[in-house]
Amino acid sequence: MKLSNQSHQPLAEIVQGTIKKTGSGAGFLIPHAELGTPRGPEIALNRYDLGDAQTGDEVLVRVAKGQLGSDGKRRGRVVEILQRATRTFVGSYFESGGQGWVQIVGTAFNTPISVGDPGAKGAQPNDSVVLEMLRFPSHADSGEAVVTHVLGPRGAVGVDALAIIHEFGLPDEFPPEVLEESRQQAVAFDEHHLADRLDLTDATIVTIDPVDARDFDDAISLSRSDDGHWHLGVHIADVAHFVPLGSALDKEARRRGTSVYLPDRVLPMLPEVLSNGLASLQQGRIRFTRSALMEFTADGVFVHAEFARSAIKVTRRFAYEQVMPLVQDHGRPHKTVSREVRELLGRMYELAMILRARRFAAGSLELNLPEVKIDFDAHGKVCGAHVAPHDASHEIIEEFMLAANQAVAGALADCGIPFLRRVHANPDRTKLEAFAEFVKSLGYPLYRFQSRHELQELLNRVTDTPHHRAVNYALLRSLKQAEYSPERLGHYALAIENYCHFTSPIRRYPDLTIHRLLDAVAARRSARPATIAVPGEVELIVLGRHCSQTERRAEQAERELAKVKLLTFMAGHVGEEFEALITGVQEFGFFCQVVDIPAEGLVHVSSLANDYYYLDSAIHALIGRRSGREFRLGAPVRVIVARVDVDRRQLDFRLANVKSPTRSKPTKPTVASGKARKASSAVPPPGSPKPAKKRGKLKKRNRGEKKN
C-alpha cells in the first residue's frame, strides 16, 4: 500500500504503530511510544479500513482530524504495511472441491486459506501443517498460501509443541558454526586454570532450584562477621567467559534473546554443552562465576558491594521442597546434610526474611500469580495439571537475586555507565482509578489507589478468598509491562530506582550484557582504562526493544502451549462434572476455573435455561430477571464440560443439573457474538474494571527476579 496525496482528502495525520485485530474482523492501532514521550491513544479501524493487515503488523495509518467514532475513539485507515509480524502460520489441513485448504489455529482467521492442489508436501487430511502466506486475506480477498512443513497428525504426541514452535517462529536447532564454537569452548575449558579469579572453591555454597531444573546459574554463600553484619555472596555462572562478544555464539544468543521453557521441552538460548554443562553450576564441580559480594547491617541495610571473577564448587544442590524442612529442624542431626550446610540454610532464611520485610516496608508490590504445571504420563500424554507450590524457600532465592540485581545496577549507575535496565514505568492514573472502583464493588474500598502500601495490603487481604485471582489479575492489567531499556524509569513494582537483570545469563541475553559491563565498573573504580567498549544509548534502545519482544514471544508461546495441552486433556472429559469458581462475568456469560485442574472456560448465557439474564456490572454478577438467581464473581458452581475446540483454543462449560434452553433456533455456546466467541478460551480474562476484549493470560510464577 502507498500513501495517497490527493488534494480533496481532509486534513489528516499519519501514525505509525502495531495492529491488533478483534474477533469481529475489525481492529485498532496501538501507536508506538517515542523515547521520552507517552504513547498516543488507540485508533479504531473497521474491517474495510484494515485492508489485509493482521495482528502484530507494523503499519502506517491515516487519521482524519476531527473524525471520532461512536465510542469516542479516533478512526483511521491503513495506508501502508511496513513490516509483517509473520508470514508463517500453523493449522489443520483438509481437502474440499479438489483443493487443499488449511484452517489456521486460533481466531485471527475466520475462514480457511487455500493452499492449492491437494496432497502438497504429502499432507493428509487432519494433519497439522505449517504454511507460508502468499497473499493475506482481507474483506475482499480469501487469500492464498503454500504448505511448507507437515508436522504430523493432529493430537499425536509432540505435534502440538512443534506447532507452537512454528506458530511463534521460535528458533530450535542451532546453526553448525554455533555448535562448533561451543565444542571448542568445551575443549579449551580448564577448571584448574583460575588465573586472576577469586578462589572460592573451598567455601560452603549451595544452589536451590526447581526439582526439574535444566540449568543452574545461581549459587549462594552467606556468613556473619563479629559486628553482626551479613556477608552475602551471589555467584552467577560466568557465561561471558564462554561467549565472546561478536562471536557466532554471541550473535545466536542475541538473536534468540531468551530460552523458552515449554511444558515438555526447553529451547535454550545457548547450546546444551554450555547451558547444561560448562556454565551450569553443578554440585561438586569447579565452575567459573561472577560474584556479587554484598554486605548488610544486622537489620538488613545495604552497606556496599564488590564484584569479582571467581571460581566456586557447589557444596550441595537443593530442590525447593527440601529446604524448609531442614531450616525448621536445623538443630537436629541429619544423615546426608552436613551441619555447615544446615547452618547456612538457617542464615539464608533469616537474612531473606529481613530483606523481604524491608522491601515491603519500602513499598514493593508482589502479585500472587500462580504457575500452572502440566502433568504427563509415561507416554508423554497429558494426565492432569496442578498449580506449582510457592513457599519460603522460593522467597529466599527471590530476595537474594533481587539484592544482587539492585547492587549491580547501582554500581553501573554510580560509575555513569549506560546499561540495559529492567524498567517498570509508573501506571496510568486512570487505570488505577478504574481498578479502585472494581475492588470497591467487591467490598474492598481502596482510598489511596496510588499508594503501593495500600495496594499490597489489598493483595494480602484477598489471599485465600474467592476474589483472590480476580483482584490479582485486575491489578496486573492495570500496570504497565516491565521491559528492557536504558531509560531511567525506575521499577514501579519493586519501588527502586536502579535495577537490572544480572542473575540469569544462561537463559537471558540482557544479563550477559550486564556481566560484560562489570569489567568496566572494575576499571573505573581503579582508574584503569576499560578493556570493553561501552554501548551507546541508541544501541541499547534497539537491543532493549529486541530483548523485550523475544521475552514476550517466549511467554506467549509458553502460555499458549500450556493452554493447548490443558484443552487436549479436557477434550477427553466432555460430559464430566467438575467443581469450579467463577473468575469473570460478562454480558454474554461467565468464566470459571475448575478447582482441581487449572482449566478455564465459558458458561454462555444461552445455556442458562428458563430465564433472561442481565449483567449487573456494579456487583459483577449475571442476574435472572424472573428467578433472581445470581452468578457472581468468586462464587462456586458445578459445571459440565460441554465442548472443547483445541484449534480455536476454546472451552465451553454448562451448569450441572440445568437443562439446555428450549428455543426454536438453538444457539451453540459462544457464538452469540464475535466478541463472545473470541472470549471463550481455556484461559479467560479475569473480572476487571474494563470489558474483556481478549483472552486472559496464565502468568508464570517464578523467582521474584525472573518475573520482574
pLDDT at 527: 67
Whether residues 543 and 586 share a domain: the answer is no
Is it the case that residue 604 has pLDDT exceeding 70? yes
Q: Is residue 691 part of a domain?
A: no
Same domain, 249 and 270: yes
Q: Looking up cell 535444566, which residue turns up?
A: 214
Same domain for 366 and 298: yes
Quote the cell numbers at residue 5. 496525496
Average pLDDT over residues 33-53: 77
Q: Which amino acid is at 657?
A: N
Q: What does the alpha-carbon distance between residue 530 and residue 190 come to, in Å, rounded to a whole number?
A: 26
Highest mean pLDDT among 246-250, 583-587, 631-635: 246-250
| C-alpha 660, offset from chain centre | 38
618 shares its domain with 673:
yes
Pick the closest to residue 43 from 10, 77, 79, 75 (CA basis).
Answer: 75
CATH code, domain carrying 132: 2.40.50
Cβ neighbours, 10 Å, residue 140: 8
Does 611 fall in a domain?
yes
If one compares 584 and 312, the residue with the highest pLDDT of the two is 312
Beta-sheet pairing, 74-83 with 58-68: antiparallel
Boundary (domain end) residue, out of 523, 542, 561 = 561
- Averaged over 288-293, what is the pLDDT? 97
In terms of domains, do 499 and 644 share one?
no
425-460 pLDDT, tens per residue?
999 999 999 899 889 988 899 999 889 999 999 999
Quick check: 127 pLDDT over 60?
yes
Q: How far apart are CA 618 and CA 401, in angstroms?
A: 41
Verify that 585 and 468 share a domain, yes or no.
no
Decide if 204 is inside a domain. Answer: yes
Buried/exposed code over 689-699 (b: 16+ C-beta within 10 A; e: otherwise): beebeebbbbb
Q: Is residue 458 part of a domain?
A: yes
Whether residues 599 and 670 fall in one domain: yes
CA dist 55 and 167 (Å) reads 13
The model's pTM is: 0.85
Q: What CATH number does residue 585 fall under?
A: 2.40.50.140
Rounded Cα distance, 425 and 431, in Å? 13
Q: Tell whether 591 and 671 lie within a shared domain.
A: yes
**Mean pLDDT within 118-129:** 92
Mean pLDDT to the nearest integer, 253-257: 98
CA dihedral angle for residue 576, residue 581, residue 586, residue 587, rounded to 10 degrees: 60
In the chain, the amino acid numbered 384 is: G
What is the average pLDDT across 128-137?
94
Which stretch of 46-55, 308-317, 359-368 has the lowest confidence by average pLDDT? 46-55
Q: Do residues 503 and 619 both lie within one domain?
A: no
Number of DSSP helices (H) and strands (E) in the chain, helices first: 15, 31
In tens, the pLDDT along 177-232 reads 999 999 999 999 999 888 889 999 999 999 999 988 878 999 999 999 999 999 99
* Domain-embedded: residue 6: no
In a domain, 92, yes or no: yes
Residue 215: phi, psi to the nearest 5? -140, 155
Domain's final residue, options 83, 109, 133? 83
Residues 338 and 233 in one domain: yes
Tell me what the pLDDT averaged over the chain comes to: 87
Give how far Cα 108 sits from Cα of 27, 138, 167, 555, 675, Å: 11, 12, 13, 19, 12
675, pLDDT greater than 60: no
Structural domain total, the chain:
5
pLDDT at 676: 38
Residue type, 540: L
Whether residue 190 is found in the same domain as residue 299: yes
Q: Evaluate if residue 550 carries a pLDDT over 90.
A: yes
Q: What are phi and psi of 75, to 5 degrees?
A: -110, 150
Task: Please determine, for residue 687, whether its predicted confidence score (pLDDT) is greater than 80.
Answer: no
* pLDDT category of residue 668 using cuts at 50, 70 and 90: very low
Domain contains 3: no
Which domain-ending residue is among 45, 65, 83? 83
Asked if the structure places residue 167 within a domain, the reply is: no
Would you state the pLDDT for residue 286? 96
Residue spans of alpha helices (H) in 189-307: 239-242, 248-256, 272-273
Q: Which amino acid is at 296?
A: F
Measure the CA angle with vertex 65, ends 64 and 67; round to 5°. Answer: 75
Name the band, by pLDDT with cuts 50, 70 and 90, for residue 577.
Answer: very high
Largest CA distance in the chain: 88
Q: Which domain holds residue 199?
A: 176-424+484-561
pLDDT of residue 467 exceeding 50, the answer is yes
Residues 121 and 185 in one domain: no
